[in-house]
Amino acid sequence: MERTLVFLKPDAVRRRLVGRIIARFEDKGFNILALKMVQLGQEWVRAHYAEHEGKHFYEPLVRYITGGPVVALVLEGKNAVEAVRRMLGQTFGSTAAPGTIRGDFALSDRFNAVHASADVEAVQEEIERFFRPEELCECPEDATRWIYDQSGAAPV
Ligand code: CMP
């Protein structure tokens, strides 16, 4: 089953949206394998967003993400990377579709509430930046019995 790394950004934490946003992922059927609240440092954030270095929004982005604690999660589920990105909606809160997390909880084109891994290649490295292997928990199979049809070789 696929995994993805999500973190709720400082605006979501300060605006007390943590419970409501995590509930969306639980409602959808994802398993939470790991969860922690952490204050990210400059060095960590600069490395995480290295692809944006030099862009006009890079320094404000670093200030934003280091401006308060974040809540990181590892989610597990079918097609997790794409499914979670679709739940987040477009990058900018001002244009994200209603019904998506950003569409419902953000208006800003910078303070957009949530990060999720962009592709399956990025997931493992992002998980390792937040969590040690022993911090990831197994999810019991019976917790997913009515989320997927598991009568065949692979969950459908
Ligand atoms: P995300 O796509 O999760 O990761 C990069 C972040 O940079 C993005 O969310 C926004 O928070 C921010 N960002 C991206 N593009 C812009 C932009 N044009 N102006 C301001 N902030 C941006």
The full DSSP string for 66-117 is TSS-EEEEEEEETTHHHHHHHHH-SS-TTTSPBTBHHHHH---SS--SEEE-
Please tell me the number of Cα atoms within 13 Å of 3 on its side-chain side.
17
- Output the six-digit token pair for 100: 């998506």
Query: CB within 8 A of 39, min separation 6: which ones?
Result: 66, 68, 69, 70
48 catalytic residue (yes or no): no
How far, in Å, CA of 123 to CA of 67, rounded? 24
pTM tops 0.85, yes or no: yes
Task: Per-residue pLDDT tens, the chain, 156 aa: give them.
Answer: 999 999 999 999 999 999 999 999 999 999 999 999 999 999 999 999 999 999 999 999 999 999 999 999 999 999 999 999 999 999 999 999 999 999 999 999 999 999 999 999 999 999 999 999 999 999 888 888 999 999 999 999
Which residue, 25, 20, 31, is CA-closest to 142?
Answer: 31
Residue of the CA atom closest to atom 10 of ligand 1: 110
Best of 11, 86, 91 to mutate for ligand 1, by most ligand atoms within 8 A of CB? 91
Question: Domain residues of the chain, as ranges?
Answer: 2-133
Show the ligand 1 pocket: residues with CB < 6 angstroms: 57, 61, 91, 109-110, 112, 115
Q: Whose CA is nearest to atom 5 of ligand 1?
A: 49
CATH topology of domain 2-133: Alpha-Beta Plaits (3.30.70)
